[in-house]
């Protein structure tokens, strides 16, 4: 079974402060991990995936197979980062995504 | 390209009724997945259609069924609606080749069962 856990529901940070969103997963094989973001009144969209090893909008995420984690980080939060963030897992490589409950990030000016 | 489009955007149904939700995939995509997102939860996978067949299914009862048309658009049908079916229903499209390809989501249909 695929399971994704995002422990904090709401995260408030000041502009310029670091942001870290935690994500832990449970899967017996080697999954693909993703972070999706939903800005206010917009649709859910892909932010980044672990296999690409990219930094998108200043965000990075490292897959730690030993700790089964895929935490999202950004060193300096911006107001436009206020959004809902979802961690997701694809265990079979066939676009069947298992999502966590999401983190609401509020960046305080 | 309008991306993934869903209709209707909102609807209200009475318990016991049936509902059909529609999805048009992003241009060039041939696979459609449906998700249910209850309030305060992440999206939960319902099923996926590829080549007009249900390719994968999540842990949802048979009251949830679907269809994919030759133009790759898709419908989600829910019979005998329950109050607990009230949720945002999301459609996502992707390319059907094995291996991950980015899934693009629609804006969703907000279903309220009263």
Mean confidence (pLDDT) of chain B: 94
Contact B48 A95 (CB under 8 A): yes
Mean pLDDT of B49-66: 94
The beta-carbon neighbor of A96 closest among B41, B48, B104 is B48
CA torsion sign for B30, B52, B63, B80 is: positive
Q: What's the pLDDT at A93?
A: 72
Mean pLDDT of B64-80: 97
Confidence band for A22, pLDDT divided at 50, 70 and 90: very high
Q: What's the pLDDT at B98?
A: 63
Contacts of B109 (CB under 8 A, 6+ apart): B6, B7, B8, B9, B10, B11, B21, B88, B89
**B105 CB near a chain A CB, below 8 Å?**
yes
**What is the rounded CA–CA span in Å between residue B22 and residue A8?**
34
Q: What's the pLDDT at B2?
A: 74
Report residue B85: phi and psi, to 5°. -80, -5
CB of A95 closer than 8 Å to CB of A2 = no
How many Å separate Cα A65 from the centre of its chain?
A: 16
Half-sphere exposure of A54 (CA within 13 A, CB side): 9
Q: What's the pLDDT at B102?
A: 87
Q: How many residues does chain B have?
A: 114
Mean pLDDT of B6-19: 98
How many Å separate Cα A91 from the centre of its chain?
A: 16
CB of B113 closer than 8 Å to CB of B86 = yes
Chain A, residues 32-71, CB within 8 A of chain B, namely 32, 43-46, 49, 51
Chain A closest CA to B82's CA: distance in Å? Answer: 22
Residue B52 token pair: 């007009």
Work out the widest C-alpha separation in chain A, in whole angstroms. 42
Mean pLDDT of B107-113: 98
Residue holding tokens 């961690």? A87
CB of A24 closer than 8 Å to CB of A68 = yes
Residue holding tokens 């892909």? A46
CA torsion sign for B80, B83, B86, B91 is: negative
**A11 CB near a chain B CB, below 8 Å?**
no
Contacts of A30 (CB under 8 A, 6+ apart): A65
Q: What is the pLDDT of residues B22-46, one digit of tens each?
A: 999 999 899 999 999 999 999 999 9
Angle at A32 between CA A48 and CA A13, to 5 degrees: 40
Contact A86 B94 (CB under 8 A): no
**What is the rounded CA–CA span in Å between residue B65 and residue B72?**
16
Share of residues in chain A with pLDDT > 70 (%):
100
């Amino acid at each position: 079974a695929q399971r994704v856990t995002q422990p904090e529901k709401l995260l408030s940070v000041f502009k310029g402060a670091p942001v870290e969103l935690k994500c832990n997963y449970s899967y017996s094989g080697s999954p693909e991990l993703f972070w999706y973001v939903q800005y206010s009144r917009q649709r859910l969209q892909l932010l980044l995936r672990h296999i690409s090893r990219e930094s998108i909008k200043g965000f990075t995420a490292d897959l730690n197979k030993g700790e089964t984690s895929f935490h999202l980080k950004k060193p300096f939060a911006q107001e436009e980062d206020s959004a809902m963030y979802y961690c997701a897992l694809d265990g079979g490589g066939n676009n069947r995504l298992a999502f966590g409950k999401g983190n609401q990030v509020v960046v305080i000016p | 390209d309008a991306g993934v489009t869903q209709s209707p955007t909102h609807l209200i149904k009475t318990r016991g009724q049936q509902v059909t939700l529609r999805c048009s995939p992003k241009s060039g995509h041939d696979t459609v997945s449906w998700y249910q997102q209850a309030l305060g939860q992440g999206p939960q996978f319902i099923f996926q259609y590829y080549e007009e067949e249900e390719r994968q299914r999540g842990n949802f009862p048979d009251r949830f069924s679907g269809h994919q048309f030759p133009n790759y658009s898709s419908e989600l049908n829910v019979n005998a609606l329950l109050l607990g079916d009230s949720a945002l229903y999301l459609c996502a499209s992707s390319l059907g080749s094995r291996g991950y390809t980015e899934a693009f989501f629609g804006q969703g249909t907000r279903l309220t069962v009263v």
